[in-house]
Chains A and B, each alone.
Chain A
Amino acid sequence: MNFRTIEENIFKILMFISLIAVMGSLIGIMAVVLIKGGAALSIGMVTTPPESGYYLGGEGGILNAIVGSVYLASGATVLAFFISIAIAIYLQREFTSSKAAGIIRTSLDMLWGIPSIVYGVFCFIVMMYLGIGTCLLAGIIALTMIEIPIMTRGMDEAIKMVPPELKESTYVLGSNRIETAIKVVLRQGLPGITSAVLLAFGRGIGDAASILFTAGFSDHIPASLFDSAAALPTMIFFLSALPSPEVRDRAYAAAFILLSIVLLISLASRLLTNKFSRYIIK
C-alpha cells in the first residue's frame, strides 16, 4: 500500500460519498413529496377550487391552481413554439451567415441564464406602463420569455444534426429552403424538437418567480385572459408559509401533483422521442 494507492482510494471514497449525496438528494426529495404529499392528497383537492377559509383550514381544493398552471404553461409553450421554431430554422446556413447565427445564439445563451424573477419584474414594469393589472396573459408572456431560450436551444441542436446531404437532395428536386425546412428538416429533427418543447413546458409549469407578479393569484379558475390566475408553484409557495400544519399538508399535496406532472412530461418526452424516430434516417 503506497501513497498512490491510498490517494486513489481516498478519492474513490469521496466520489462515492458525493454520488450518494446527489442521488440521495433526489431520492429524498421524491420521498418527501411522495410520502407527505400523497398522504394529504384527496380527490376533493383536485376537483374543487378553494372556498373561503381554505387557507385557514376550510373546505375546498386547488383546482384553481391546477387549471391556472395548465393554461399558463400551455399558452406559453404554444407561443414560444412558434417563435423558437422560426429562430431555429433561421439559424441554418441556408438563411443566415455564420456571424449572424453566432450573434443570435449568443443572445439566446445570455437570455437562458437570466433569473426568472428578472423576467417577472420586467413584465410587471411593462404591465404597469400599460395600466394592466395581474392577469393570465401577462403570466403567459413572462413564461414565454423564459421558455424561448430553452426551447430554441434544443431545437437548434436537433436541426444542426440534420445531414446537409439530406437537405441537398431536396434542393436538387427543386424544393426551396422553406419547403425543405418544413417538410424534411422538421421531420428529421422531430424527436429532438419534441423533447425540446416538452423540456420547456416542464420548466414553464414549475416556475413561480416569473408569474408571482404577473399572473398574480386568485381563488377562482381563470375565465378569461385578463383574470388573475393562480398556479401550482405559487399555490405551493403561499401554502408553505402558512402557520397551520393541516394547511401546509395541502402544499405537499400540491407539490405531489406538480412533481408528478413534471415526471410524466419527462417520461412522455422519452416515449415520444422513440416513437418519432421511426421515419428518420440514422
Chain B
Amino acid sequence: MKILRAFISMDSRRKKVVITTKLMLAASALVCALLFVIILILFSGSLPLLKQESIINILFSSFWNPGKGGFGLYPIIIGTVYVTGIAMLFSVPVSILSSIYIAEYAEGRVRNIIKSFVDVLAGVPSVVYGMCAIIVLVPLVRDYMAPFLGATSTGFCILTAGMILAIMVFPIIISICVDVFRAVPNELREVSYAIGATKWETIKHVVFRAAFPGVSSAVLLGFGRAFGETMAVCMVVGNIPRLSSSVFEPGTTLAAFIATNFGEMMSVPFYYSAMMLMALILILVVLIFNIIAKIIIRKSYGGGGR
C-alpha cells in the first residue's frame, strides 16, 4: 500500500519512468526465461519415451521403426555427425584462409567489397541454398563425383548436404575471423617483421596464434549452426534414417528428420516423444558448443562484454 500511495503521488514524468522501467525489466526477464522454458518443455515432451526405454538404447540403437516401437536414433545422430563433419572439413580451411587474405592482404576498398559479398551470403535464405544445391550440386555429385570415385549415387546424399552446408557456414566463420585478425595489435606484427620474418611467417606464427581463441570460437559457432541447419540439408540429403556406408548414400540429420517427418508423428505412439527428444538433443548440443565458444573468448580476451 505504501508503494502504491507513493506511486500515485508521483508526478507524471516520474510515473512514466517507473512504468517503463518495469516493462523493460519484464521484457528482459521474459527473454532470459525463454531459453529455460524451451528446454523444459522439450524435456517434458521427451519423458514418455525416456521412461519407456533407456537413453543408451535410444541413442545407440540402429533399429528405427516407429510403428514397431523401434526408436534407435543412432543412424540419425551419425548422419548428423557425418553431414556436419563434411561441412566443417570443407568450410574451416577455406574460411580461415579466406579470412587471412581479407584481413591481412586485401586493402581498404577490396576488403570492403569482399566483406559485402560475405554479408550478402549470410543473408541468403536456407531454402534458396537448398534449391541451388538441387540444381547444381545434385547433378555434380550424381554425374561427376560419384562415377569418378567408382560409386553410384542419386546425388541426394550426405556429401551433397555437407557441401551446401559448408557454403552456408562460410559467412559465420569468415566474419568473426576477420574481426579477430584485425583486432590483433599491429605492434605484434611489427615485432615479428623487425626480426626479419616474412609476411606469411608473421601471420602463421604471430597473428594466427594471437587470434587462435577467436578463430576456435568462430569454428565452434559455425559447427553449431551446421549442426542445426534444417531446410537446405533436408532438401538434398535423401531423408532415409539408415546408417549409410558411404557419403554417396542418402542419410538424414536430426533437424532434417524433424522437418520431414513432423506430420507423421501424431498417429504413432511415442513418435512424438522421439521428436521432442531429437529437438532436445539439437538444442543441447548447439548450446554446449556456444557455451564453450563463449568460455574460450572470455578466458583469452579477459572478462567483460561480448
Q: In the complex the two chains form, is B130's CB within 8 Å of A240's CB?
A: yes
Q: In the complex the two chains form, is B128's CB within 8 Å of A255's CB?
A: yes
Q: Quick check: which of B59-67, B119-127, B185-193, B241-249 contacts chain A, the rest being far away?
A: B119-127
Q: In the complex the two chains form, is B42's CB within 8 Å of A106's CB?
A: no
Interface string of A22-49 (1 = CB under 8 A from B): 1101101100110010000000000000
Residues of chain B with a CB closer than 8 A to A208's CB: 125-127, 230-231
Say whether A110 faces chain B, with CB atoms less than 8 Å apart. yes
**Which A residues between 25 and 80 are near B, CB-CB below 8 angstroms?**
25-26, 28-29, 32-33, 36
- Size range of the chain B interface in the assembly: 35 or more
Q: Quick check: which of A10-18, A164-172, A185-193 contacts chain B, the rest being far away?
A: A10-18
Main secondary structure of the interface of B (DSSP, over half): helix
Q: In the complex the two chains form, is B125's CB within 8 Å of A233's CB?
A: yes
Say whether B149 faces chain A, with CB atoms less than 8 Å apart. no
With known contacts A29-B128, A90-B28, A115–B229 Cβ distance under 8 A: yes
- Size range of the chain A interface in the assembly: 35 or more
> A210 to chain B: closest CB distance in Å?
9
Say whether A109 faces chain B, with CB atoms less than 8 Å apart. yes
Q: In the complex the two chains form, is A19's CB within 8 Å of B114's CB?
A: yes
Q: Of B31, B42, B221, which one neighbours A104 at CB under 8 angstroms?
A: B31
Q: In the complex the two chains form, is A14's CB within 8 Å of B128's CB?
A: no
Say whether A116 faces chain B, with CB atoms less than 8 Å apart. yes
Say whether B16 faces chain A, with CB atoms less than 8 Å apart. yes
Which B-chain residue is minimally distant from A90 (CB atoms)?
Answer: B24
Q: Quick check: which of B1-9, B50-58, B69-77, B278-286 contacts chain A, the rest being far away?
A: B278-286
Residues of chain B with a CB closer than 8 A to A224's CB: none
Q: Of B129, B255, B304, which one neighbours A117 at CB under 8 angstroms?
A: B255
Q: In the complex the two chains form, is A111's CB within 8 Å of B123's CB?
A: no
> B238 to chain A: closest CB distance in Å?
12
Residues of chain A with a CB closer than 8 A to B230's CB: 115-117, 208-209
Say whether B275 faces chain A, with CB atoms less than 8 Å apart. yes
Q: Of A109, A113, A126, which one neighbours B306 at CB under 8 angstroms?
A: A109
Residues of chain A with a CB closer than 8 A to B151's CB: none
Q: In the complex the two chains form, is B136's CB within 8 Å of A18's CB?
A: no
Say whether A226 faces chain B, with CB atoms less than 8 Å apart. no
Q: In the complex the two chains form, is B41's CB within 8 Å of A241's CB?
A: no
Q: In the complex the two chains form, is A22's CB within 8 Å of B229's CB?
A: no
Q: Of A83, A241, A258, which one neighbours B125 at CB under 8 angstroms?
A: A258
Q: In the complex the two chains form, is A87's CB within 8 Å of B275's CB?
A: no
Say whether A176 faces chain B, with CB atoms less than 8 Å apart. yes
Q: In the complex the two chains form, is B13's CB within 8 Å of A176's CB?
A: yes
* Interchain pairs with CB closer than 8 A, number: 241
Instruction: Give Cα A114 to B45, complex, Å.
Output: 18
Q: In the complex the two chains form, is B24's CB within 8 Å of A114's CB?
A: no
Instruction: Give Cα A85 to B284, complex, Å.
Output: 28
Q: In the complex the two chains form, is B128's CB within 8 Å of A236's CB?
A: yes
Q: Among B228, B231, B290, which residue has the most Cβ atoms of chain A within 10 A?
A: B231
Residues of chain A with a CB closer than 8 A to B294's CB: 106, 109
**Which A residues between 195 and 229 are near B, CB-CB below 8 angstroms?**
199, 202-203, 205-209, 212-213
Residues of chain A with a CB closer than 8 A to B81's CB: none
Residues of chain B with a CB closer than 8 A to A259's CB: 124-125, 128
> B52 to chain A: closest CB distance in Å?
19
> B216 to chain A: closest CB distance in Å?
16
Residues of chain B with a CB closer than 8 A to A25's CB: 121, 167, 170
Instruction: Give Cα A265 to B125, complex, Å.
Output: 13
Q: Among B38, B221, B305, which residue has the most Cβ atoms of chain A within 10 A?
A: B38
Q: In the complex the two chains form, is A86's CB within 8 Å of B174's CB?
A: no
Say whether A230 faces chain B, with CB atoms less than 8 Å apart. no
Instruction: Give Cα A266 to B118, complex, Å.
Output: 12
Q: In the complex the two chains form, is A118's CB within 8 Å of B114's CB?
A: no
Q: Among A8, A110, A115, A126, which residue has the most Cβ atoms of chain B within 10 A?
A: A115
Q: In the complex the two chains form, is B123's CB within 8 Å of A203's CB?
A: yes
Residues of chain B with a CB closer than 8 A to A28's CB: 132, 136
With known contacts A115-B283, A117-B279, A208-B125, A22–B117 Cβ distance under 8 A: yes
Which A-chain residue is minimally distant from B14 (CB atoms)?
Answer: A176
Q: In the complex the two chains form, is B125's CB within 8 Å of A207's CB?
A: yes
Q: Could you tell me which A residues sit within 8 Å of B by CB distance?
A: 4-5, 7-8, 11-12, 14-19, 21-23, 25-26, 28-29, 32-33, 36, 83, 86-87, 89-91, 95-96, 98, 102-111, 113-119, 121-122, 124-126, 145, 148, 152, 176-179, 199, 202-203, 205-209, 212-213, 233-234, 236-237, 240-241, 251-252, 255, 258-259, 262-263, 265-266
Q: List 29 A-B contacts (CB under 8 A).
A: A8-B201, A15-B98, A19-B97, A19-B114, A22-B118, A25-B167, A25-B170, A33-B128, A83-B27, A86-B28, A87-B28, A90-B28, A102-B305, A104-B28, A105-B306, A113-B224, A113-B289, A114-B286, A114-B287, A115-B228, A115-B229, A117-B230, A118-B228, A121-B258, A124-B262, A179-B13, A237-B130, A237-B235, A255-B128
The 7 A-B pairs with the shortest beta carbon distances in the complex, nearest first, are: A115-B228, A206-B125, A90-B24, A8-B200, A18-B97, A209-B230, A107-B32
